[in-house]
Structures are given as C-alpha cells and as structure tokens.
Amino acid sequence: MLSRTADHLFWMARYMERAENTARILDVTYRLSLLPQNGEEVAAMWSGMLKIMELQDAYLAKYPAYSTESVLEFMIFDRDNPGSIYRCLRATRENAHAVRGTLTSELWETSNETWLKMRDFTVAKLLESGTGAFFEWVKYRSHLSRGVTIGTMLQDEALRFIRLGTFLERADNTARILEVKYLNLLPGADEETAHAADYYQWSALLQSVSAFEVYRKVYRDQITPLRVAELLVLRADMPRSLARSMKEVYSNLTRVSNARSAETERLAGELESHLRFGRIERIFEGGFRKYLEDFRDRIFDLGCRISDDFLIPASS
Amino acid sequence: MAITKFFNEMTADDGSVRAHYAGYAAWLSETPADRIARKRAEADSLFHRYGITFAVYGEESGTERLIPFDIIPRIIPAQEWKDLEAGLRQRVKALNCFIHDIYHDQEILKAGHIPAEQVLNNAQYRPEMQGVNVPCDIYAAIAGVDVVRAGAGEFYVLEDNLRVPSGVSYMLEDRRMMMRLFPELFARHRVAPVEHYPDMLLHTLRSLAPVGVTDPTVVVLTPGAFNSAYFEHAFLAQQMGVELVEGQDLFVRDDQVFMRTTQGPRRVDVIYRRVDDDFLDPKYFRKDSMLGVPGLLDAYRAGRVTLSNAIGTGVADDKSIYPYVPEMIRFYLGEEPILNNVPTYMCRKPEDLAYTLAHLPELVVKEVHGAGGYGMLVGPASTTEQIETFRKYLIANPEKYIAQPTLALSNCPTFVESGIAPRHLDLRPFVLSGTEVQMVPGGLTRVALREGSLVVNSSQGGGTKDTWVLEA
C-alpha cells in the first residue's frame, strides 16, 4: 500500500477516535462541574482538563477566564483549535477524502455525513438539545464509523493502519481521561481510599468510558480508585483500557511489519508486556500520575516511529 | 436570431412522442408529481452523501458543488447508436494513426494534407515525443468525443478530447442513481448496461503495458484532492482496484518508475494519468510543477512505463487541427468519414477572419486552445457589447481563434424550476483503444440548464442525464 495512503488512513482513524474521546473527556468534566462547589473550583477543573489536553495556552489566548460555556465552545466548535471536535471531524473527513478510493463507499459516506452534520451544529442548537445529546451523537458516529470499518473493509493492510491509528490514539486518550480525574483529588488525599463524596466522581469517570456496568460485572463490589485504575489500565478484556489498546497496537503493528520496523515493534511489545504482567499496586507505589505521563510519552514516541517506518519514510 | 428550429429528442415536429420515448413518456404521465418530487430530492441528498461533487476553479478554494442531475433520461435507439459507434471508432482510429504519424514519418504533412507549420508550431506538439514508440501505437487510449445533434437530427462531432477527458464517473453514477430511484423503468425498458466500463478500462490499460511485462501494475495518477475531477480519479482507481497515486508517491530510479509503499518501493508499469502534459515531469516540462515526477519522461522514452494517454496527444484535439480530421480518416483508413465535422473558419486565414468578423452575431467563436467553455463567444446569445469586445480580441490575435456556425443543439425535456421544459444537450461517448477498440453504449449526456443556453459544461452550470441506449 502507498505510504501516503497508510498515513491518511492512520490519521483518519486517530482523528475520529480523538473526537470521540474528547467528547468523553468533556462529558465527564462537565458532569463533575455540576457537583456542588464554588466557581473557583469549577474554573480549576476546566483549566486542569485543558492542561492535560495541552490546549491551555491556546485557550487563554482567546478567553480571559475559565467558564463552562467558553470551554465547551472552544473544545467543540472553535475552528482555530486543532483539538476541537469540529476540527477533529473535519480532519477525519479530509483524510478520508484523500483516500476515498481505498475506503468502502459505506465508510466514506459515514465520514462525509458526520462532517456535513457537524457543520450544521451551532452553540445555540447545542444548548437547546443539551450537551449530553451532542456528546452521545459524537460517540455514536464514532461507533458507527468503527462498525462500518470492521463490517465492510477487507482485512488487509488498510484495515491494519486504521486499527493502529484507533488504538494508539485511544491509549493516549484513556491515559488523559484518567489524569483528568486524578487532578480532582484533593492535595494530599489518599489515592487508595475513596471518599464517600467521591462516589459520584468515580462513577462519572466510569460512565465516561462506558465502563460503569463493566466495573460492576467484573468486581461485584463497591467502587474504589485502585480497582478503577486496574480496570482502565491493566484489564485487557476492557475495550478502552491501556492494556487492550496496546495489545491491539502491537498485534496490528506486527502484521504490517517491514524491513525497518523491528525496533518499533520491540518497543510496542515491551510496553504491552509491562501492562500484561503489571500489578496496579506497584504502579501506584511509583505514583499514578507520573506513570500515566510516562506512558503517554512512550505512546508519542511510538507514533513518531510508526510515521518514520511506514507513513513518511525518508527517501527510499 | 437566426435559429428557430431545434430537434427535440422526445417529441417529433408534429407533437407526437418518438417511438423510443413512448415507454418513458407513459410512465411520466402516470407517475404522481409528488412521487417524482420526492425522488428528485432523494437523488440530491444521495449525491451529497456520496460526495459526488466537483471543485470549481476560481471560487473559494475547496468549494465543492454537486453537478445537477436530471431524472429524464436521454434515450438513443439501437440503430442510431450503431451508426454513431461506428463513426466514433473510425474517428479515434484515424486520430491515433495521425498522432503516431506526426511523431514519426509525418507522411500526412509530406502529402500536403495539413500545413506542416499548423502541427509543428502548435504549442501542443511535443518534440520530445519525436521517434518515441508507444505500445500498440496507441496514443489516445481514452478518448471522450463530444457529439451534438443539430436541426434535422444529424450528429456532428464538436470536439475530440484526447488528453485527459473526464465525466465517465458521472455516466456511471447517473445510471446507478436512476436504477436506485426508478427500478421499475428498467424493468420496462431494455437499457444497454454501462457498468462494466471500469473493467474495460483496466483491460485496455493492461493491454498497453510495456513490452515484456506480463502482470503489469496499473495506477491512476491524480493532481490531488483539490482537483476538480478528483472524485472521478478516486472512483476509477477504486472501481479498477488499483492505487490512486500523486506525483509525490512516485519516483524514478534507473529509468524505472516506483511507488513508495509501506513495504518499500514497488514497480509501476502503466500510469493512467489525469495530470496534464505540462505538469508531468518538472525535469522537462514546467519546472515549478509539484504534481509530476522528475525523470518520468526518461522512463517513458526508454519504454519502461506506459502513460495513458501518451504525452503529446493534445496536438490532435486542438481546435486548429479539428478541421482536418475528415482528411485524416481518408488518408489513414481510406474510408469516408461517417460522422460530420462542423464547418470551421480558421481565423488565421485572412478570408476566414473576414467572414467571421462580418458574421459575428451568428457564429460561435472559440479559443483554439480553450476548454471547459471558458473564453468563447456564442454570437446569437451575446449582447452587442460582448460581440464588440470579442471583435477586438479577434483582430488582435486572429490565430488564437476559430469560428463555427451556431449549431441548433437538440434539446430534451428537463426538470427546471418552472416544471418540465426543453433544454439543450450534448453527448460525450468514451472510446477505449488498446489491443482492440471498445466502447460502452451511450456516454455522458450533459444538459445546459439555463433556458436557451448552448453551453453544457459543468463549470458553466450544466447538468447531466442518464443516457440510455435501447437494445433492439
């Protein structure tokens, strides 16, 4: 397959996944902002979220202060913010457009239709129908796109690069979602014990990654931070966990393997096996936030390596 | 206004419905208007969802528009098509002979049938091609010949598009849309299928592979997603199951063309290129081209890669060469032309210029190198001011123009805002030449949606219709 084609497929999938996870992060943060608390605390929550998404400076260049409404506007509609859902869906569609001949017509139409609909959304419409309905819509468009991908695409290299993009992005994004939650723990609070008041926060987090029922099913017990972390980091049967994401990254990578990709595969395999054989207690001992940051650095590195090995190879 | 009588595709002069339209006309009269309105809206939304659009030059970059689609088909009876097809095959055969000749021995020039300077000083003549052999001596593997029908119903060839003719994807999509919207119509009529065109195209391209290549790798070369015909490039690549490449995806090493793939370089044998000659190879043609591949011409001249269409075909579809096509048919094939040429005044000749200037209000004046309906004057439809402006152009650069009588383009009932009204149309059948010459029945019918307009180009607001060739 053409390197450029693989590049477009990879980024098409990453942007769709990013749009979905941005909706998830916004959803959980928005829900947490509704808890009884003062304005400063709400502002701190949004500022923390933007920091983790590395968009704090871009936001402050446009808005003087943090408010729920302006953050939502910035993160959903802002055409200058490369991380906004608007821009993610546009980039998804642009990448799909560039390789539409490689996609099944259903997949192309899904992406095109999502974009046409997004163009028609406005802040006013959003407030009228409720943010929840909008975030649901984004998630369902992403579900649809994934389903159409799996349901219609030939299981060849094109599909591997799409899946690689999906799971590399998801690994990064799930780590960020966890970081957002950990921002909200009070300074000095014990990471291992849940406060009664925290229940709402943990359940909101689980719901944001579609894991609330899963948690109940797996643990059949009350919600504790340690188990939530275990579920979202180490459980390979949890579709949005770091372990699952890395497992998919690794297996898709080995199936597109070429003459120059050995080291990239080794690094991905190493990260995957750490998750496969890791224990959550050990991870917490070293500090969970540091662990997550470190994990994201390694995902970033993997992304660069995949690009060098397959997508934009230096002169052949 | 000199023209009064137009040939109506559906109804005869006495108002009766022509036999081949009888089935459709009956269907149209018995189908409730609201059902038709619903179907027309459905067609619009489907075309949008499919993203079957074209980009418009000169508008905000990235602007995409739908080409309006009309649900009343253009129907051609079997016998009429048979004659038309024979004429088109003959014409394209002769044109390929002509291009081969002028890049080799130039017999037709030596015999004095065409003034040599008309060919050799033509901007579209590529000296780089002199003496170069191409597989099967086929230069224009894909030709889109524009045909119109005039007052009494006779066909004329308006122009031969031998460079990178487009529109075939609309022919295929229009059919798909019609079958989806009105399956019952296809049950009632024996409409000759066109769906196998991509197969035929792939077969043609493979048959033109460089000598010695048994299982050729074919690619489609596009200028990119912002090109007006990008949809078609992607569509054809997908339908043929070949890679859609841009210049940046290809490179040349030791006169061999490769594409950059995730598994390393892979050899390319046949390029269906949708990039103009000028942009193909910055090493030889336009230096500033970002769309081409440096060294492509070297690989081509070494016979290591096939370009379809060949470089330098433009010399044969140029409007200044057009008047000589009947002569080519006689010269190379020893046959009389089956299809009519439109009488053409070449303004470089003083007597033709004088005639043209004296009859501007009744003529169509075209730029010799123009395309897409830009830079032309339709005398009967122009204001005195427009005519006088064009007169100045003509006097300043007579060699840049040709003039033709304004043809009374046939018309066909078409849905417009006021209901159903006749609109003028043309037909672009596609002729594929490889080891054999092949065509699918019909082609792309383009329709001028503005009342009275004779310009059908999509860039000028034209629409399309499904084209039915009825099987006998």
Q: List the alpha helices (DSSP H) in B222-343.
A: 230-240, 277-280, 296-301, 314-317, 325-328
- Is the Cβ of A306 closer than 8 Å to some Cβ of chain B? no
Local structure of B217: helix, strand or coil: coil
- For B243-277, write each residue's pLDDT tens digit: 999 999 999 999 999 999 999 899 999 999 999 99
In chain B, which residues have their Cβ closer than 8 Å to the Cβ of A96?
Answer: none
B444-468 mean pLDDT: 86
Q: Which residues in chain A touch residue B261, judged by CB atoms under 8 angstroms apart?
A: 1-3
**Chain A residue with the nearest C-alpha to that of B220:** A101
Per-run averaged pLDDT (10 residues), chain A, 316 residues: 95 98 91 81 89 93 93 95 96 93 91 92 83 93 97 95 98 92 56 59 85 90 87 95 98 95 97 96 90 96 96 69
Chain B residues within 8 A of A101 when measuring between CB atoms: 233-235, 237-238, 244
Q: How far apart are CA A19 and CA B288, in angstroms?
A: 38
Check CB contact under 8 Å for A316 and B264.
yes
Q: Do B243 and A5 touch (CB under 8 A)?
A: yes
Burial class from Cβ neighbours inside 10 Å (0-12, 13-18, 19+) for residue B187 reads exposed
* A314 Cβ under 8 Å from any chain B Cβ: no
B-chain residues near A258 (CB < 8 A): 262-264
- Chain B residue at shortest CA distance from A112: B49
Asked whether the beta carbons of B285 and B250 are under 8 A apart, the reply is: no
Whether A56 has its CB under 8 Å from any CB of chain B: the answer is: no
Question: Which DSSP letter does residue B341 get?
Answer: E
**Which has the closest alpha carbon to A109: B51, B41, B54?**
B51
For residues A299 and A175, the answer to whether their CB atoms sit within 8 Å is yes
* Long-range CB contact pairs, B28-37, < 8 A, 24+: B28/B72, B36/B71
User: What confidence tens digit (pLDDT) does each residue in B29-62 have?
Assistant: 999 999 999 999 998 888 877 766 665 554 443 4
A133 burial via Cβ count (<10 Å: 0-12, 13-18, 19+): exposed
CA separation (Å) from A195 to A148, A188, B395? Answer: 42, 13, 91
Tell me which residues of chain A, numbers 79 to 138, contact chain B at a CB-CB cutoff of 8 Å: 94, 97-102, 105, 108-109, 112-113, 116
Between residues B14 and B269, the one the model is more confident about? B269
**B142 has pLDDT over 90:** yes
Give which of A8, A100, A115, A308 to mutate to test B binding, by max B Cβ within 10 Å.
A100
Give which of B231, B262, B267 to mutate to test A binding, by max A Cβ within 10 Å. Answer: B262
Tokens 């084209």 appear where? B467
Chain B residue numbers touching A98 (CB-CB < 8 A): 225
Give the largest Cα separation in chain A, rounded: 60
Cβ B262–A256 below 8 Å, yes or no?
Answer: yes
Best CA proximity match to B361, nearest among B344, B377, B380, B342: B380
Return the exposure string of B364-374: e unless at least 16 CB atoms fall within 10 Å of the residue's CB, then b.
bbbbbeebebe
Question: Which of B262, B235, B259, B255 is CA-nearest to residue B246?
Answer: B259
**Length of chain A (residues):** 316
Residue type, A170: R
- Do the chains contact at A105 and B237, CB–CB below 8 Å? no
Task: Output the pLDDT for position A197.
Answer: 55
C-alpha to C-alpha distance for A125 and A218, rounded to whole angstroms: 39
Q: At what angle do helices B33-50 and A105-120 cross, to 10 degrees?
A: 100
Q: Which amino acid is at A228?
A: V
DSSP state of B332: I
* B74 — pLDDT class (breaks 50, 70, 90): very high
Under 8 Å CB-to-CB from A197, ≥6 apart: which residues?
Answer: none
Query: Which segments of chain B belong to CATH 3.30.1490.270?
Result: 343-406
A154 touches chain B (CB under 8 A): no
| Distance (Å, whole) CA B307 – CA B293 | 12
Q: Tell me the chain B residues in contact with residue A311 when contact means C-beta distances shorter than 8 Å.
A: 262
Taking the mean position of all CA atoms in its chain, how far away is CA B364? Answer: 19
Minimal Cβ distance to A258: which of B244, B258, B262? B262
Nearest CA distance, B319 vs chain A (angstrom): 34
Contacts of A270-273 with C-beta under 8 Å, sequence gap 24+, read A271/A246, A271/A295, A271/A298, A271/A302, A272/A243, A272/A246, A272/A247
pLDDT tens per residue across span B278-336: 999 999 998 888 899 999 999 999 999 999 999 999 999 988 899 999 999 999 999 99
Measured between beta carbons, which residues in chain A are less than 8 angstroms from residue B245?
A: 2
CB A101 within 8 A of CB B237: yes
Compute the distance between CA of residue B472 and CA of residue B467 in angstroms, rounded to an integer.
Answer: 16
B251 contacts in chain A (CB < 8 Å): 315-316
**pLDDT for residue B229 is more than 50:** yes
Q: Cα separation of A58 and A52, whole Å?
A: 13
Domain coordinates in residue numbering, chain A? 1-153, 163-316
Asked if B278 and B286 touch (Cβ cutoff 8 Å), the reply is yes
Asked if the peptide bond before residue B122 counts as cis, ω within 30 degrees of 0, the response is: no
**Contact between B403 and B344 (Cβ < 8 Å):** yes
Give me the CATH code for the B343-406 domain, please.
Answer: 3.30.1490.270
- Locate the chain B residue with the closest alpha carbon to A95: B225
- According to the model, what pLDDT value does residue A123 have? 81
Give the containing element (helix H, strand E) for B438. Answer: strand B437-439
Length of chain B measured in residues: 472
How confident is the model over B418-426, as a mean pLDDT?
92
Structure tokens at B290: 């970002």
Q: Are B308 and B270 in contact, with CB atoms under 8 Å apart?
A: yes
Residue in chain A nearest B265 by alpha carbon: A316
Q: Considering only CB atoms, which chain B residues are within 8 Å of A3?
A: 249, 260-262
- Select from B225, B235, B261 the Cβ nearest to the Cβ of A98: B225
Give A-chain residues touching B50 at CB under 8 angstroms.
105, 109, 112
